[in-house]
Structure 1
Amino acid sequence: MMRLSRTNRTALAEWWWTVDRLTLLAIGLLISLGMVLTLAASPAVAMRLHYPPFHFVYKQLLFLLPSLMILVGVSLLTVKQIRRLAVFVFAGAFAAMILTLLVGPEMNGAHRWILIGPFALQPSEFIKPAFIVIAAWMFAEAHRLPGFPGTAVAVALYVMVISVLALQPDFGQLMLITMVFGAIFFMAGLSWVWIGSLGTAALAGLMAAYMLMPHVASRIDRFVNPAGGDTYQIDTALDAFHAGGIFGRGPGEGEVKQILPDAHTDFIFAVAAEEYGVLAGLLIIGLFAFIVMRTLSRAMEEQDLFIQYSSCGLVALFGLQALINMAVNVNLIPAKGMTLPFISYGGSSLFAVSLTMGMLLALTRRRAGSHVPMPSGWGAVA
């Protein structure tokens, strides 16, 4: 058996001693919890759909091996290779998103998927981390090379992405990308002109979505006035939290999975709380919070602005998606149809979040001379 000692110069040994092993451990715990909760939540859903009881469990296990390969394989890459990978993934995912508008099947009133044999692929999941890395790269280059139009390029790419998302439509992903892009823009030191322009555009887009998209208006109206619409899923999820209490009903004893159609995806957090209690929910929240805070701490020690911006952007993408999912489960925000990273069932989601965290682990690996105390000035992008 190969020993991964510090004197071992193989790529795997070097990776092991430079990667953030605590973040890697937290990711491993989330993946393990995801499989346990898929086993708890999915059999009831599978039987309602006339599948074998463990249909979704076996499929998630099938997705897990390539996801782990993506996670580890991408985390082995250099910073330059991460940038190149982001460009290739962005180009492929954007082309696939255009393809969904032309030949993608309509599911729940939207064209977000491409069918590949028995599998359905959601390209927008993959464009998120790629876009964040490229935008961070452009902002960093704009700071490093005065006169380089990095800000304009990043904004142009952002407009391209959200335009296609609006056409699908997928306003959950659109809002998530907008929030993360705004966070990176803020880090890079955006001017008041950009703040006003982007804020106005975001507000106008939200108003247009409310007026032109009935399903968007319906979700917002149900959230603002629960008595005026169907709030069955949210009410059932809240009942699950109440029934679970502190310690839960016990493994397999939950009832929410028997009646919620999305118990294994969008509402798996409610299943966890019902069967394993509020303590399980706090454990899940704690793991996400740990990954976010640890990554931000390591990113702030970096000299390279690209690594700072991209690491913070990727972990913001990861953390905000988790926050949105959990907030929907406890009725803090309108339903978004967004998965809980590493925990919800789904191949596209699992592959994409593995890509995201693989990029993050690669960027935050310890490199000689790269970590210094955070400089007082972050620079500004006009």
Structure 2
Amino acid sequence: MKQLIGRLKGDKVIWSFVALLALFSFMPVFSASSNLAYLGHGTGNTLGYLVKHLVHICIGFLIIYGVHRVPYHYFRAISKVALPVVWLLLLYTLIKGTVIAGANASRWIQVPFIGMSFQTSTLASVVLFIFVARYLSKTREEPISFKTSLWELWLPVFVTLILILPANFSTTALIFAMVLMLVFIGKYPLKYLGAIVGSGFLFLVFFVLVAKAFPDSRFFSRVSTWESRIENFSTDKPDEDDYQIEKAKIAIASGKIYGLGPGKSVQKNFLPQSSSDFIYAIIVEEYGLIGGFGVLVLYLLLLFRFVIASHKANTTFGKLVVVGLGFPMIFQAMVNMAVAVELLPVTGQTLPLISSGGSSIWMTCFALGIIISVTKKDEEIEEELKTAAKREEALQKLIDAELESEHKMEEDYSIQDKTSNPMNAVFNK
């Protein structure tokens, strides 16, 4: 175990918080999966969902370990190449999106030969944040031209958002808000930022108007869902989303201070998304306000650690990468909790590292791996360089020994040749 921990580089506190959240997730996921186990005349056995979640978490930690060993500055160039690939995946998702449980799930694609679905917007957000951090770090020491930034920064951002918007408005809004936060921290001129926000708002209005003009189009089918969610949030009109919110509030109220106990949730049998979108309500019901507040504190402590990691980063790109990948993770968690207590309309955002789901866990772990790579201490980097230098020195010594051995063998052969040849004695006389 000590050897394993010793191989983990970077901020050990971030490793600890991530491990705590992942370990805690097994209890609510195992409990909240009961309604899924009974769905469709199932047997009610939740063990399969627990094993599936275990596999997702284990693969996620392997991703963190593998990515954190890679120098983070490699992702600077990779983001520029990966962004067009992401656009193709998002376009394919819009056209060939998978239908899950009869719902319009054009935000997922089916992975061939594996039999699992993947949410491409989660990958797109990570790549886009790294791309924005790359641009801001490149122009940090130079005056930013609005015309140049339109082509080099905002065009790629808006292309990505446009490809996500028709299927997932909440993710689009979250990504756009986090990009604005990142460029603000990156000292992008405020006078230009106002124009960008206005342009984004005008495009959204235009998109909604076009959707109204073509209500039967599959491309605009989610617009009516956005409207109903906003309307239900502001009024008392009953709806499926309103039903979920009511059950979530009942679960939170039932938990009181200490909760009903692990696995004793009642509302998990009525909440359709009890193991993903509304898992926080199940946590509060089973573990009370103490458990709910504990999860909130863990995310806030993780946010605090991200701030420290960003401050300690040696490069501008490293600082911006930590902010661009870490802050959206915490913001998403806050949105999920806010939806459960009806502070926000239903958005469909999961609780990072706790909610069930493969692609969301893996992309969160991928982002965490990059962040931890940034947090490597100078001593650890120096240690890695020393290890590489020692290996090179050992290799050079081996080569020198081989050369010396060959040279000695040549001398031995030469002496042997002189003593064994009779003509050498004649010449010597």
| TM-score for both structures, normalised by structure 1 | 0.87
Query: Could you tell me which residue of structure 1 aligns to residue 264 of structure 2?
Result: 253
Establish whether residue 119 from structure 1 lines up as the match of residue 116 from structure 2: yes
Greater Cα offset, 249-258 or 47-56:
47-56
- 1:268-312 superposed Cα distances (whole Å, 9 cap, x missing partner): 000000011111111111111111111112212334111111111
Q: How far off is 1:232 after superposition?
A: 0.7
- Alpha-carbon separation, structure 2, partners of 1:248 and 1:197: 48
Give the alignment of 1:357-376 within 5 angstroms.
357-367=368-378
Contact 2:28–2:263 (CA under 8 A) maintained in structure 1? no
Establish whether residue 140 from structure 1 lines up as the match of residue 140 from structure 2: no
Q: How far off is 1:3 after superposition?
A: 4.3
Query: Could you tell me which residue of structure 2 aligns to residue 82 of structure 1?
Result: 75
Give the alignment of 1:1-382 within 5 angstroms.
3=3, 13=6, 16=8, 18-52=9-43, 53-54=45-46, 55-87=48-80, 89-107=82-100, 108-116=103-111, 117-145=114-142, 149=148, 152-167=151-166, 169-208=167-206, 212=211, 213-227=223-237, 229-230=239-240, 231-367=242-378
Greater Cα offset, 175-184 or 97-106:
97-106
Q: Secondary structure at the match of 1:121?
A: strand
Q: How far off is 1:51 after superposition?
A: 3.8
- 1:245-274 superposed Cα distances (whole Å, 9 cap, x missing partner): 010011121111101110011000000000
Contact 1:110–1:170 (CA under 8 A) maintained in structure 2? no
Query: Could you tell me which residue of structure 2 aligns to residue 376 of structure 1?
Result: none
- Alpha-carbon separation, structure 2, partners of 1:109 and 1:222: 20
Structure 2 residue runs without a partner (length 5+): 212-222, 382-429
Query: Could you tell me which residue of structure 1 aligns to residue 417 of structure 2?
Result: none
Instruction: Mark the structure with the bigger radius of gyration.
Output: 2
Query: Could you tell me which residue of structure 2 aligns to residue 7 of structure 1?
Result: none
Alpha-carbon spacing, 1:142–1:369, altered in 2? closer, same or farther (3 Å): farther
Partner amino acid, structure 1, of 2:118:
L
Alpha-carbon spacing, 1:37–1:158, altered in 2? closer, same or farther (3 Å): same
| TM-score for both structures, normalised by structure 2 | 0.78
Q: How far off is 1:88 after superposition?
A: 5.2
For this pair of structures, how many residues does the alignment match? Answer: 360
Alpha-carbon spacing, 1:86–1:188, altered in 2? closer, same or farther (3 Å): same
Alpha-carbon spacing, 1:286–1:185, altered in 2? closer, same or farther (3 Å): same
Q: Secondary structure at the match of 2:312?
A: coil
Partner amino acid, structure 2, of 1:263:
S
Alpha-carbon spacing, 1:369–1:271, altered in 2? closer, same or farther (3 Å): closer
Partner amino acid, structure 2, of 1:49:
G
Contact 1:35–1:57 (CA under 8 A) maintained in structure 2? yes
Q: How far off is 1:32 after superposition?
A: 0.7
Partner amino acid, structure 1, of 2:59:
P
Partner amino acid, structure 2, of 1:355:
F
Structure 1 residue runs without a partner (length 5+): 5-11, 371-382
Greater Cα offset, 297-306 or 239-248:
297-306
Q: Secondary structure at the match of 1:120?
A: strand
- Alpha-carbon separation, structure 2, partners of 1:364 and 1:358: 10
Q: Secondary structure at the match of 2:26?
A: helix
Partner amino acid, structure 2, of 1:93:
V
Partner amino acid, structure 1, of 2:179:
F
Partner amino acid, structure 1, of 2:89:
A
Alpha-carbon spacing, 1:274–1:316, altered in 2? closer, same or farther (3 Å): same
**Cα RMSD (Å) of the superposition?**
2.3
Alpha-carbon spacing, 1:206–1:225, altered in 2? closer, same or farther (3 Å): farther
Q: Secondary structure at the match of 2:132?
A: helix
Partner amino acid, structure 1, of 2:291:
A
- Alpha-carbon separation, structure 2, partners of 1:219 and 1:237: 16
Q: How far off is 1:77 after superposition?
A: 1.2
- 1:299-335 superposed Cα distances (whole Å, 9 cap, x missing partner): 1233411111111111111111111111101100111
Whose helix fraction is larger, Structure 1's or Structure 2's? 2
Q: How far off is 1:145 after superposition?
A: 4.7
Partner amino acid, structure 1, of 2:52:
K
- Alpha-carbon separation, structure 2, partners of 1:354 and 1:94: 22
